[in-house]
């Protein structure tokens, strides 16, 4: 039997000709990632075992993005610990405020993620990098500390679920809607420790931004990783961000590869989705959502803070005003995206509509800062999670959507379909 793309990558990094689901391996890593919340724990463990040098200073990325710019004195101490470690170890890929971005948007943009790589990060949404045909998964800070020393990680090879998407997308339907619809079908634990492999004619036409969004939320179905086969869209993106051609490689699954299950979706029947609290799996078409008044809209995050997302939001907001009872927060995912949005005139549209633009940060997505909700408040967000208390008070609510639905809702003051604007 052949292998899936996930199995091929893990076999190559374990020095094996082949691997099978359920097999335990030790894999060499191409990139290790941590942020201002998770890195300090790993650094303390690194020092506790008496380690003096990281395995490879060019294969580690440290990005202060969660509570930055520093939310308070405690956050400042966390960030200083990160910075001091990066200086001491001469970490090549350390990104200070002003040069950073939200980690899962920043690293692909910097050309640090390539097809066929094996990547871990002390952040659950590390699975984002599967959009480029890499095996990428989140780990705990202790596992990360061990990887900083050895450059390796211990893994069980996951089974794969093949997801096939067919048909042309409706207007206003994006990768965010496809993944919310899929999570609604699978459930939040429907892919526990499995690889979600995104395939089909719809996927071959999907932009890199859309793919990054879908891979990002594989974890919301419990998946170990999400992955796309590297095609011409992938290779063009890599050429653009690295300025070079990729060496020849096998970035596809074998025709006779084994899957635990296969599911097919008719995308012509999928409408813009909204995930109701408290789970991303509670997705339904926006037109089926009851009249729900909102207090805040957040457009940004590692899920939907890229230039395509900001363009979509601006398309809806142009010529309109944000509802007088609503706060609209726009958070470009990186400095480069911020500058591009500025050059394209998107920022002017957001400001004229009554929106607030913030520096790249995870901020409100995890209830960190810059948009925390009070008791009883509701938000529509292009983020990836809507758990109880995720964006602030336990009695607040978060509804997940794509940028067009979020922008339209900010105008109406309630959750609506973009067509109504």
Tokens of 276: 């109701």
Which pLDDT belongs to residue 274?
A: 98
What domains are defined for the chain?
5-266 (3.30.499.10), 271-420 (3.30.499.10)
What SS3 state is found at 317? helix
Which pLDDT belongs to residue 1?
A: 85
Which pLDDT belongs to residue 398?
A: 98
H or E segment to which residue 284 belongs: strand 283-285
Which pLDDT belongs to residue 306?
A: 98
Which pLDDT belongs to residue 247?
A: 76
Give the strands of the sheet with 135-138, arranged side by side: 93-94, 60-63, 31-35, 118-121, 135-138
Which pLDDT belongs to residue 364?
A: 97
Which pLDDT belongs to residue 251?
A: 86
H or E segment to which residue 135 belongs: strand 135-138
Enter the pTM of the model. 0.97
Tokens of 121: 């990060």
Which pLDDT belongs to residue 245?
A: 86
Map tokens 């978060």 to a residue: 398
CA distance between the termini of the chain: 52
- Cβ(357)–Cβ(351) below 8 Å: yes
Which pLDDT belongs to residue 129?
A: 98
Which pLDDT belongs to residue 246?
A: 83
Q: Is 149 exposed, middle or buried (0-12, 13-18, 19+ CB in 10 A)?
A: middle
Which long-range CB contacts under 8 A does 383-386 form with residues at least 24 apart? Answer: 383/298, 383/300, 383/301, 383/303, 383/304, 384/125, 384/216, 384/217, 384/220, 384/280, 384/301, 384/302, 384/303, 385/220, 385/280, 386/275, 386/276, 386/277, 386/278, 386/279, 386/280
DSSP state of 397: E
Which pLDDT belongs to residue 267?
A: 98
Which pLDDT belongs to residue 356?
A: 98
Parts of the chain with a pLDDT under 50: none
Map tokens 């290779």 to a residue: 235
Beta bridge partners of 137: 120
């Amino acid at each position: 039997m052949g292998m899936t793309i996930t199995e091929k990558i893990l076999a190559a990094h374990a020095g094996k000709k082949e691997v099978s689901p359920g097999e335990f391996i030790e894999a060499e890593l191409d990139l290790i990632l941590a942020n201002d919340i998770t890195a300090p724990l790993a650094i303390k463990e690194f020092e506790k075992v008496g380690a003096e040098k990281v395995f490879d200073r060019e294969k580690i990325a440290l990005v202060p993005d969660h509570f930055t710019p520093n939310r308070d004195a405690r956050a400042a101490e966390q960030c200083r610990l990160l910075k001091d470690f990066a200086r001491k170890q001469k970490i090549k890929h350390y990104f200070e405020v002003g040069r950073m971005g939200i980690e899962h948007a920043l690293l692909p943009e910097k050309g640090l993620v390539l097809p066929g790589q094996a990547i871990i990060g002390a952040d659950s949404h590390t699975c984002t990098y599967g959009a480029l045909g890499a095996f990428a998964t989140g780990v705990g800070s202790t596992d990360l500390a061990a990887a900083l020393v050895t450059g390796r990680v211990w893994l069980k090879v996951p089974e794969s679920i093949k997801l096939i998407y067919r048909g042309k997308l409706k207007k206003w339907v994006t990768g965010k809607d496809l993944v919310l619809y899929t999570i609604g079908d699978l459930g939040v634990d429907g892919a526990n420790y499995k690889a979600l492999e995104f395939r089909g004619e719809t996927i071959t036409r999907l932009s890199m931004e859309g793919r990054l969004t879908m891979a990002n939320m594989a974890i919301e179905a419990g998946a170990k990783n999400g992955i796309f086969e590297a095609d011409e869209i992938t290779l063009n993106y890599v050429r653009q961000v690295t300025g070079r051609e990729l060496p020849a490689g096998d970035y596809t699954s074998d025709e006779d590869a084994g899957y635990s299950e296969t599911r097919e979706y008719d995308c012509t029947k999928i409408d813009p989705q909204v995930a109701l609290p408290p789970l991303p799996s509670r997705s339904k078409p926006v037109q089926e959502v009851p009249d729900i008044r909102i207090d805040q809209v957040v457009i940004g995050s590692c899920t939907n803070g890229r230039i395509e997302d900001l363009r979509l939001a601006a398309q809806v907001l142009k010529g309109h005003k944000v509802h007088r009872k609503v706060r609209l927060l726009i958070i470009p995912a990186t400095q480069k995206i911020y500058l591009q949005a500025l050059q394209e005139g998107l920022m002017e549209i957001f400001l004229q509509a009554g929106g607030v633009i913030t520096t790249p940060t995870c901020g409100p997505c995890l209830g960190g800062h810059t948009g925390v909700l009070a008791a009883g408040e509701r938000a529509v967000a292009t983020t990836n999670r809507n758990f109880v208390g995720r964006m602030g008070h336990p009695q607040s609510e978060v509804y997940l959507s794509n940028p067009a639905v979020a922008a339209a809702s900010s105008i109406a003051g309630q959750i609506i379909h973009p067509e109504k604007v």
